[in-house]
Structure 1
C-alpha cells in the first residue's frame, strides 16, 4: 500500500499542476504547456520529455473541450500560413529534443526556463495593436518559430502569442486562433512521436489521469467565467510564469556550475 501511495503522489501533484495550467489557458488563451512544464520541472515530478508528451495530448483535449463549449467559426484561413510554418518547426524542435535529452538535460531545463520568462515578459508588456493584420510571410515565420518550441516542449506560446495579441483582431478570435495553433502543433507532434517510440507508458499514464481534470476545469470555467479585469489576469499569469522560469533557470545554473 505504501508503495502505491508513493507512486500516486507524483501523479496527484501532476494533476494539480494540470488544473492550474488549464485554468490559466482558459483565462488567457495560452500558457497551458509553459505553466505545466514549468511547475512539473520545479517540483521535479517527471522528465521534461515525458511532461511534454503528456502536455501534447492534454492540449488537444483542452482545445476540443473549449471549441465544443463555445461553438463558432475556427480561423483556418487566418492561421493557415502559421500552421504550414509550424509543421516544419515542430520537426526541427523534435530533432533538437532528441539531441538535448541525450546529451544535455540540464541545458534543456535552462532553455525551458528562458522560454517561460520570455512568455511572461511578452504577456506583461503587450503594446498597442498594429494598424493592419500582418502578412502571410510574417505568420509563416512566426509559426515556424512557434513550431520549434512546440516540438521541444509542446509549448508553442511565446512567438505566436506576441504576434497574435498585436493584431487588430477581436480577443475571442485571437483566443480561438491560438487554441487552433496549439492543437495543430500538438497533433503534428503526436503523429511523429508515437510511431517513433518516443512516447513512453508513463507519459500515457499521466495524460490519461489528467484528461478528466482538463475537461472538468474547462467546463467549469465556461459555466463560471471569471470577473477579473484582463490586466489583473495578465499579471497573475505572468507572475506565475516568472516564478517558474526563474526557478528553472536557477536550478539549471546551479547544476551547470557544479557539473
Structure 2
C-alpha cells in the first residue's frame, strides 16, 4: 500500500480499534496488528511500537476518570507476573524477525486465531475471586504476548472476565495493565536502540482516530450487549488470523 494512502487509512483503522478497546477493555493491539500484518502498512516490529504508543493515549483518556475503579491487588499481581515476561517476548520478537518474515506472520496469525477462539467463549463466572498466583500467571502469559506483538489482552481478558467484579472494574483494570505493559515495552525498545523516529509519524497519524473513538465510545456506547460486541469483534479477528496463516502454509 502506498505510504500516502496508508497514512490516510491508518486513522480510520485506529478509530475502529480504539472504539472496540474502550467499549470492551481489550482488543486494540489485536485489531491493529492483524490489519497491519494483512496490509503491510508497517513492518511488524515497528507496528508493535506504534501500538504501544497509541495504547498509552487510549489508556490516559480512559483512566483520566476511571482510575478509581481499578482493582488494585489484581492489577499489581498481573503486573508482577507480566513485566518480566514482556522483556522475554520482546527478545523473542527480535530473534524471529531477524530469521524469517514468514515465520513472524505465521506466529502472529496463530496467536490471533487462538485468541479469537478463546475470547469468543463466555467465561464461566466464579463465585469468589481467583487466588493471587493466578493473576500473576495470567499476567505473565499476557506479558509474553505483549512483548511479542503488543497484544497482551487474551489471557488477561479471559481471566478477569471470570471474576466476580463489576464490569467497569474489569475494564478499567485491564486498560491499566495494558498501559503499564506498553510503557515498559517502549522503554525496552528505546534502551535496545531499535527505536525508529518514523514510528512517531504513524503514531501521530493514528492519534486523532484513537482520541475520537475513545471519546465517542465513553459518551455514546453502542446498543449491543457486551457479549454481542465481543462475538462480532473476535469473529473478524479470526478471519484476519486465517488470512495471515493461509498464505504462509499454502503459498
TM-score range, shorter chain: over 0.9
* RMSD, aligned α-carbons: 1.6
Which of residues 205, 215, 225 is equivalent to 2:201?
205
How far is 1:170 from its partner? Answer: 1.1
**Correspondence for 1:89:** 85
Partners of 2:73 and 2:231 lie apart in 1 by 32
Task: Spell out the pairing of 1:25-40 with structure 2 (5 A cutoff).
Answer: 25-40=21-36
CA deviation profile, 1:133-156 (whole Å, cap 9, x unmatched) = 111111111111110110010110
Task: Spell out the pairing of 1:152-191 with structure 2 (5 A cutoff).
Answer: 152-191=148-187
Partners of 1:123 and 1:73 lie apart in 2 by 23
Q: TM-score, normalised by structure 1?
A: 0.92
Q: TM-score, normalised by structure 2?
A: 0.95
Deviates more, 1:51-60 or 1:104-113: 104-113
Deviates more, 1:35-44 or 1:113-122: 113-122
Unaligned stretches of 5+ residues in structure 2: none
Which of residues 73, 98, 103 is equivalent to 1:102?
98
Deviates more, 1:215-224 or 1:184-193: 215-224
**Correspondence for 2:249:** 253
- Does the 8 Å contact 1:18/1:36 carry over to 2? yes
Partners of 1:158 and 1:6 lie apart in 2 by 32
How far is 1:72 from its partner? Answer: 2.8
Cα gap change, 1:158/1:71 in structure 2, threshold over 3 Å: closer, same or farther? closer
- Does the 8 Å contact 1:21/1:35 carry over to 2? yes
> Are residue 234 (structure 1) and residue 234 (structure 2) matched?
no
After TM superposition, where is structure 1 displaced by more than 6 Å over at least 4 residues in a row?
A: none
- Does the 8 Å contact 1:124/1:235 carry over to 2? yes
Cα gap change, 1:71/1:91 in structure 2, threshold over 3 Å: closer, same or farther? closer
CA deviation profile, 1:219-256 (whole Å, cap 9, x unmatched) = 1112222111222212211111111111111133235x
